[in-house]
Amino acid sequence: MLFSRDPQKELQSLFKKIESGRASDANIVSLVQLLDKQPSLKPEAIRMLISFTHKGDMKVCSSIISSLNRLAENDLRLAADSIDAITSCMQRAKEGFHEELLLNALEILSGIYQEYPEC
């Protein structure tokens, strides 16, 4: 994906898709690429992902976990900073028996625990 000249606008566009539960794999890859190129946006990205878990449904949680899974491949610390979002999505997944989401979330948490056992 080509990034707009304003990374902030690009980030907001991607977050609108995540928040609505319409994020595709390409959108998630674009988010990871954007955050790799613009690391100063990472704290805002974490805040937004966490806020989406409090008002989102399972599609939103699925997008969040997919995003964090991809982000964890390059920056496990970023995923570690998102434990609240992960556990919130896990709680929703548990209530609805969404096994795939639970497994993906557990994969992230396992990686975090191996790298950062103090979390």
What percent of the chain has a predicted confidence (pLDDT) above 90?
A: 56
Domain span including residue 24: 8-115
Q: Is residue 1 part of a domain?
A: no
CA quadruple 57, 13, 85, 118: dihedral, nearest 10: 160
Cα separation, 109 vs 4, in Å, equals 33
Cα separation, 1 vs 52, in Å, equals 24
pTM metric for this prediction: 0.83
Structural domain count, the chain:
1
DSSP string computed for 55-109: H--HHHHHHHHHHHHHHHHH-HHHHHTTHHHHHHHHHHHHHHT-HHHHHHHHHHH
Q: Is residue 2 part of a domain?
A: no
Those residues of the chain that have pLDDT short of 70 are: 1-4
* Amino acid letter, 13: S
Which tens digits make up the pLDDT trace of 29-63?
Answer: 999 999 999 999 999 998 998 899 887 788 899 99
**Mean pLDDT over each residue of the chain, to the nearest integer:** 89
Q: Is residue 87 part of a domain?
A: yes
